[in-house]
Amino acid sequence: MARAGASAKKDEAMSKKTVKVTLVKSPIGCKSDHRATVLGLGLKKMNQTRELEDTPAVRGMITKVAYLVRAV
């Protein structure tokens, strides 16, 4: 029975949509809230890529700093 619960969680995790975000431009010299948004996306270094859950909040953050990141 515990095994069925574990596979259900795995199926649920696999069905969630994700988006890959890469930092392609340095946030140095940008507005402080844009730098905070980049950190909020989990990006700290140039060319670093994170795979994030595709939610409206994450989409809004990507739109805000679209000139700094590339989303796939």
pLDDT digits (tens, 9 = 90+) for 9-64: 666 656 799 999 999 999 999 999 999 999 999 999 999 999 999 999 999 999 99
Owning domain of residue 48: 16-71
CB 28 within 8 A of CB 11: no
Q: Is residue 43 part of a domain?
A: yes
Q: Is residue 11 part of a domain?
A: no
Q: Is residue 55 part of a domain?
A: yes
- Structure confidence at residue 6 as a pLDDT band (50, 70, 90): low
Q: Is residue 66 part of a domain?
A: yes
Q: Which two tokens stand for residue 26?
A: 């340095």
CATH assignment of the domain containing 38? 3.30.1390.20
Q: Is residue 36 part of a domain?
A: yes
Q: Is the pLDDT of residue 4 over 90?
A: no
Q: Is residue 38 part of a domain?
A: yes
Q: What is the pLDDT of residue 15?
A: 75
| Contacts of 23 by beta carbon, 8 Å cutoff, 6+ apart | 38, 43, 45, 46, 47, 48, 68, 69
Please spell the DSSP secondary structure of 49-70, one letter per residue: EEEEE--HHHHHHHHHTTTTEE
